[in-house]
Amino acid sequence: MDIFEGNPYAKFLRKLNNFPSLEDFKIIINRDAAVDQRVYNSPTVDQVAAVWIEGNNDNVPYEREIVVHSHSGKNHQVKHYFGCYDPLQYPLLFPGGDVEDIFKREREGVKAPKAGSVSCREYYCYKVKIRDTRQSTVLTSAGRLFHQYAVDMYIKLETTRLDYFRKKQSEIRAELFQGIVDSVAAGEAKACQVGRRIVLPSSFIGGPRDMRRRYLDAMSLVQRFGKPDIFITMTCNPEWEEITEELHPGQTHNDRPDLTSRIFRGKLQDLKDQLFKKEIFGKVAAHVHVIEFQKRGLPHAHMLIILMGKHKIVSLDHYDKYVSAEIPNHYENPILYELVKKHMMHGPCGELNMKNVCMQNGECKYHYPREFSLISLQAKDAYPVYKRSKNNRTMLVRNKILNNQWVVPYNPYLLTRYNCHINIEICSGIKAVKYLYKYIYKGHDRVAVNIEYNEGEKVVNEIKNF
């Protein structure tokens, strides 16, 4: 039996093996604007990533394994879930070849939920925990190898979860999603490609049904408590003292994604305390938030807040109370002035810099520079226009003189407290509600790849989505 039968990726690999040279092959990031740019957006920086191919054909092996050849002529396959897989795959990280067994134990006053070994996720949470031990130091000092290790272990966990759901299809009533009608509805036009579909339930975190369920749950909050009042975006600052003080000599924040993620989570928890316990914007009726990772690896959070009835933002006076879009007075508040200069100035773009990343078709996709406005008001498109006085306040940002037209809306108290990019927006109209909820629940970033190769005099172009 041909193991490549019915598998386009394996067929491509077979063609690849038949060519004498790889010089005829090119892998190009697809920049087609027709695909959803919120999800299929091109990478902007170099980073550690994984092209993860999974198929539905049980006859085609997709196992990531290590083959050990012995003197007796017998081969030993080390699966990714074997305890010795990590030392064999990463000998620099585990030079002793140790296979560590970890068991749960009861802490004083806290009873362990189950006795016995820990789960795979708990095991790797334990491995990347920051400790003053040799193993922890070796792991967190490995730079990009540590990145590769973390991505590899993440794929190991997701593969285990997917294998579970693949074997439990009868329990999630997968037969309801099978058949020719469903395949055609999904866009499959070739009869040879129609087969058994693997359905991911809503309990699979990050899957399409999970994201849709979260979106519908969030929209139900609007029906119950009304439209959101405030939209907050908070981004990790790699120059926080909590991060820089823990870096090893010669390290940068890019070498320690574990550290930046933990510090950011602590800051986010403190932001929640400010919003929900100290109620700096008023009593909160409901909220939703999601944490994402930028292309350069730093985490950021999007949060939508619905205030209770008497605390809702219903007048334009509340705009200036909570949000500022102006450069502060340098002499009256020098600390806030420097924070705005460092974190809250957009660009420069447009005529000042046509090559900025925000430029599309000769215009800034974020609509900067904004128009001056003597007062805050609500525009016809349901998005607020913040007060931007035409005064003489300017600052030098990235070798350009910028004024109030380039200020990203912020809250002075939160900006001073967290020393990071923290954008505060007022959700003034109901037209923006659906967009905002879809924005925070758009799902994982993906990439469309064009694979081009010469087949005689014919250039074959295959588009694969990962």
CA-nearest of 286, 288, 312 to 302 is 288
pLDDT of residue 41: 64
**Residue 49 placed within a domain:** no
Q: What is the mean pLDDT of residues 195-216?
A: 77
Does one domain contain both 336 and 378?
yes
Q: How many domains does the chain have?
A: 5
What pLDDT does 84 receive?
82
CA end-to-end span of the chain: 28
Residue 407 pLDDT greater than 90, yes or no: yes
Q: For residues 100 and 149, state if they share a domain.
A: yes
Instruction: Report d(CA 195, CA 6) in Å as an integer.
Output: 10
What are the C-alpha distances in Å from 316 to residues 100, 311, 347, 351, 386?
61, 14, 27, 32, 9
Whether 389 has a pLDDT exceeding 80, the answer reads yes
In whole angstroms, what is the distance from residue 222 CA to residue 214 CA? 13
Would you say residue 51 lies in a domain? no
Within a domain: 237: yes
What's the confidence (pLDDT) of residue 427? Answer: 83
Is residue 418 predicted with pLDDT exceeding 80? yes
Reported as a pLDDT band with limits 50, 70 and 90, residue 4 is: very low
pLDDT of amino acid 81: 78
pLDDT at position 239 is 94
| Percentage of the chain lying above the pLDDT 70 cut | 68
Same domain, 387 and 326: yes
- Give yes or no for residue 190 having a pLDDT over 90: no
Question: What is the C-alpha separation between 166 and 160, in angstroms, rounded?
Answer: 10
pLDDT at 262 over 50: yes
pLDDT of residue 107: 63
Q: Sort 303 into a burial class: Cβ within 10 Å, 0-12 / 13-18 / 19+.
A: buried
What confidence tier does 3 reach under pLDDT thresholds 50, 70, 90? very low
User: 318 in a domain, yes or no?
Assistant: yes
Q: Does residue 138 sit in the same domain as residue 214?
A: no
Read off the pLDDT of each residue in 11-38 and give the average, rounded to a whole number.
58
Question: Do 182 and 150 share a structural domain?
Answer: no
pLDDT at 280: 94
The pLDDT score that the predictor gives to residue 200 is 78
Spell out the SS3 assignment of the chain. CCCCCCCHHHHHHHHHHHCCCCCCEEEEECCCCCCCCCCCCCCCCCCCCCCCCCCCCCCCCCCCEEEEECCCCCEEEEECCCCCHHHHHCCCCCCCCCCCCCECCCECCECCCCCCECCHHHHHHHHCCCCCCHHHHHHHCCCHHHHHHHHHHHHHHHHHHHHHHHHCHHHHCHHHHCCHHHHHHCCCCCHHHCCCCCCCCCCCCCCHHHHHHHHHHHHHHHHHHCCCCEEEEEECCCCCHHHHCCCCCCCCHHHCHHHHHHHHHHHHHHHHHHHHHCCCCCCEEEEEEEEEECCCCCEEEEEEEEECHHHCCCCCHHHHHHCECCCCCCCCCHHHHHHHHHHCECCCCECCECCCCCEECCEECCCCCCCCECCCEECCCCCEECCECCCCCCEEECCEEECHHHECCECHHHHHHHCCCEEEEECCCCHHHHHHHHHHCCCCCCCEEEEEEEECCEEEEEEEEC
Q: How far is CA 76 from CA 3, 66, 89, in A?
A: 21, 8, 15
- Inform me whether the pLDDT recorded for 256 exceeds 80: yes
Choice between 158 and 10, residue whose per-residue pLDDT is larger: 158
Range in 28-32, 43-47, 282-286, 314-318 with the lowest mean pLDDT: 43-47
Distance in angstroms (rounded) separating the CA atoms of residues 379 and 299: 32
Give the pLDDT band of residue 290 (cuts 50, 70, 90).
Answer: confident
Q: Is 293's pLDDT higher than 90?
A: no
Mean pLDDT along residues 443-448: 65
In the predicted model, is pLDDT for residue 289 greater than 90?
no
pLDDT digits (tens, 9 = 90+) for 46-80: 655 666 655 545 555 556 677 777 777 788 888 87
Q: Give the pLDDT score at 436.
A: 66
Residues 6+ apart with CB under 8 A from 408: 325, 344, 345, 346, 421, 423
Q: Residue 256 has which token pair?
A: 């320690």
For residue 261, being part of any structural domain is answered with yes
The answer as to whether 62 is a domain residue is no
Contact status, residue 303 vs residue 288, Cβ threshold 8 Å: yes
Average pLDDT for the chain = 78
CB 218 within 8 A of CB 287: no
Domain with 148, as residue range(s), is 68-163
In a domain, 63, yes or no: no
With cut-offs at 50, 70 and 90, classify the pLDDT of residue 168. confident
Residues 151 and 236 in one domain: no
222 band by pLDDT with thresholds 50, 70 and 90? confident
Query: Residue 416: CA atoms inside 13 Å, Cβ hemisphere, count?
Result: 10
Q: Which residues contact 403 (CB under 8 A, 6 or more apart)?
A: 327, 393, 394
Residue 147 sits in the same domain as residue 159 = yes
Same domain, 182 and 254: no
pLDDT bracket for residue 269 (50, 70, 90)? very high
Question: How much is the pLDDT for 336?
Answer: 96
pLDDT at 319: 87
Strand partners, 27: 451
465, two tokens: 């989505």
The amino acid at 416: T
What is the C-alpha to C-alpha distance for residues 388 and 403, in angstroms, rounded to an integer?
A: 9
Candidates 209, 169, 173, 177; CA nearest to 194 is 177
- Strand 25-29: give its sheet, edge to edge: 25-29, 448-455, 458-465
Judgement on whether residues 409 and 462 belong to the same structural domain of the protein: no
Greater model confidence, 117 or 157: 157
Q: Which residues contact 275 (CB under 8 A, 6 or more apart)?
A: 281, 284, 287, 303, 305
Is the same domain home to 117 and 155? yes
Q: State the pLDDT at residue 49.
A: 62
188 and 285 inside one domain: no
Tell me the per-residue pLDDT of 172-187, one tens digit each, with 9 for 90 and over: 665 555 554 555 555 5
**pLDDT the model gives residue 417:** 96
Q: pTM, whole model, 2 decimals?
A: 0.78
Which of the residue ranges 94-108, 208-222, 318-332, 373-387 would you say has the lowest mean pLDDT?
94-108
Mean pLDDT of 270-289: 93
Q: Which residue has the higher pLDDT, 190 or 309?
A: 309
Q: Is 34 contained in some domain?
A: yes
6 vs 113, which has greater pLDDT? 113
Inform me whether the pLDDT recorded for 459 exceeds 50.
no
pLDDT mean over 365-370: 91
Same domain, 273 and 285: yes
pLDDT at 457 over 70: no
